[in-house]
A and B are shown apart, each in its own frame.
Chain A
């Protein structure tokens, strides 16, 4: 048996016999080792791909809760009197309109209108934002922001190495947070989706500020907890202990990928990239063209062209999943390409996202997936594949 790792996947199997000597480690690395995690190299970081079983971790997040270490994500503070105006210029959204205490999903566009990265922006004060970017795009985002900062009264501070990020996701999240000793969160009960609350963790001198954001990448309710790296292991252990009676398990990047795919969330390098305009990926609403000017505006106004492929969801029967790169066919014609695919653990059938020619993108259209030479019928469906019950 020889493995053909899905190029889409953050996990690659079999794992390398030894991680690259230069691999960066999360501040929670020792916790993962103690929990028996398998590791994968992801964007130069050695991160846990699974602890027990991808499926068990996936199902735990859907039914109870899962704890993810996503400390490899990049955190860039943007401060100064010109911060709001700068972000309106540098990003696709209108961040000046974001209320303090709230978060917004946004994009860094290239002049071509393609996507340099997708990110979450938190507004912590009138002149203080936190931009959270993908680990793989940290350098590209910092470079783009630095270049675009010329003439703006802002200070950029890449805090990635100092901040740990823990995601607690799943229906039991709120109960677990409430029962975690030493964790205090202001107004947790009233915390809205895409908002954050100030919190603290620890006691006495070992007490640290925690930003508790009701955001996530799994399709479940939950929070993402930002805190100083040195305090992260204690919070990780406290959450796991408090969560045990609620069925909380540590969850790795493999489960994270199947969860986000079911939730129809794009992954950079698959559904998003420099050659893809946001509207093609269903993210046209993220770009505020009513703004006076922003990087990429001219290209966005020209648009990607009528024949540009568009992102669709595809649902199939059976158990064989299409993977990234597999052709999408209509008859003998190749009309698209899969960007992410898996056997959905929650739904029990194969799902995929794919860019297809707009003539074949209407929900209900029946296409074929070319799965290593076999044709598997698949129906275009609206995204997301899975939506939690309110």
Chain B
């Protein structure tokens, strides 16, 4: 199960790539595999202001529904229309083309390191 070393994570199985004040957010390969084939994605709109921990979207597979939580406080600056049109991208490339949203954040977020996330999922 891939847990890239250059990302940070949440206990809700999201990954975050920090680049200055822009955070790119997706779900981990562990989460994508557990969900099964993703068939529907609902993402927050550009301009939306998110509060860490709030439910901001959905990732739905043939078998179950996952809620997307905002991992950080921030404003949505980009939403990945590609995964809305082709939800299977999340399974195929969760850390690349399958990213979900980009947020402009303020402050220092408290996130899990790759090692901490690996421990969480038992790897």
Say yes or no: B69 contacts A6, CB within 8 Å.
no
Q: A1-B59, A13-B63, A343-B62 are in contact. Are A320 and B12 (CB under 8 A)?
A: no
Say yes or no: A320 contacts B60, CB within 8 Å.
yes
Q: How far is the CA of A6 from the CA of B36 in the complex (A)?
A: 13
- Number of A-B residue pairs, CB cutoff 8 Å, is 93
- Interface presence of B21 (CB below 8 A): no
User: B58 CB to closest chain A CB, in angstroms?
Assistant: 8
- Interface presence of B65 (CB below 8 A): yes
Residues from chain B with Cβ under 8 Å of A190 in the complex: none
Say yes or no: B35 contacts A13, CB within 8 Å.
yes
Residue with the greatest number of chain B CB neighbours at <10 A, chosen from A13, A323, A342: A13
Sample 19 A-B pairs with CB under 8 A, ordered by A number.
A1-B59, A1-B67, A3-B35, A5-B63, A11-B36, A13-B34, A13-B36, A13-B63, A54-B36, A54-B37, A55-B39, A254-B62, A258-B62, A319-B87, A320-B42, A320-B60, A342-B62, A343-B39, A372-B65
Closest to A319 in B: B40
Residues from chain B with Cβ under 8 Å of A319 in the complex: 39-40, 60, 87
Say yes or no: A53 contacts B36, CB within 8 Å.
yes
Q: A1-B66, A1-B69 are in contact. Are A321 and B37 (CB under 8 A)?
A: no
Say yes or no: A53 contacts B91, CB within 8 Å.
yes
Which A residues lie at the B interface, using CB under 8 A? 1-6, 9, 11-15, 17-18, 38, 49-50, 53-55, 58, 254, 257-258, 319-321, 323, 342-343, 345, 372
Residue with the greatest number of chain B CB neighbours at <10 A, chosen from A3, A54, A323: A3
- Interface presence of B68 (CB below 8 A): yes
Say yes or no: B64 contacts A2, CB within 8 Å.
no
Residue with the greatest number of chain A CB neighbours at <10 A, chosen from B65, B69, B91, B122: B65
Residues from chain A with Cβ under 8 Å of B34 in the complex: 3, 13-15
Say yes or no: A17 contacts B122, CB within 8 Å.
yes
User: B105 CB to closest chain A CB, in angstroms?
Assistant: 18
Q: A15-B34, A319-B40, A320-B40 are in contact. Are A1 and B27 (CB under 8 A)?
A: yes
Q: How far is the CA of A258 from the CA of B14 in the complex (A)?
A: 27
Q: How far is the CA of A17 from the CA of B67 in the complex (A)?
A: 20
Q: How far is the CA of A257 from the CA of B95 in the complex (A)?
A: 29
Q: How far is the CA of A216 from the CA of B37 in the complex (A)?
A: 24
Q: A1-B14, A1-B59, A13-B35 are in contact. Are A343 and B40 (CB under 8 A)?
A: yes
A38 touches which of B33, B37, B62, B87 (Cβ 8 Å) = B33
Q: A14-B34, A345-B62 are in contact. Are A2 and B40 (CB under 8 A)?
A: no
Closest to B91 in A: A53
Q: A54-B62, A54-B63 are in contact. Are A2 and B69 (CB under 8 A)?
A: yes
Say yes or no: B91 contacts A54, CB within 8 Å.
no
Q: How far is the CA of A121 from the CA of B36 in the complex (A)?
A: 34
- Other A-B contacts than A58-B62, A319-B40, A342-B63, 13 sampled, CB-CB below 8 A, are A1-B13, A2-B12, A2-B13, A3-B65, A4-B65, A4-B67, A6-B65, A11-B64, A13-B66, A55-B62, A254-B36, A254-B62, A320-B42
Q: How far is the CA of A11 from the CA of B31 in the complex (A)?
A: 14
Q: A5-B64, A6-B63 are in contact. Are A14 and B30 (CB under 8 A)?
A: yes
Residues from 44 to 65 in B contacting A, C-beta threshold 8 Å: 58-65
B63 touches which of A2, A11, A18, A320 (Cβ 8 Å) = A11
Q: How far is the CA of A2 from the CA of B37 in the complex (A)?
A: 16
Say yes or no: B64 contacts A3, CB within 8 Å.
yes
Q: How far is the CA of A323 from the CA of B59 in the complex (A)?
A: 14
Say yes or no: B64 contacts A55, CB within 8 Å.
no
A50 touches which of B36, B39, B64, B87 (Cβ 8 Å) = B36
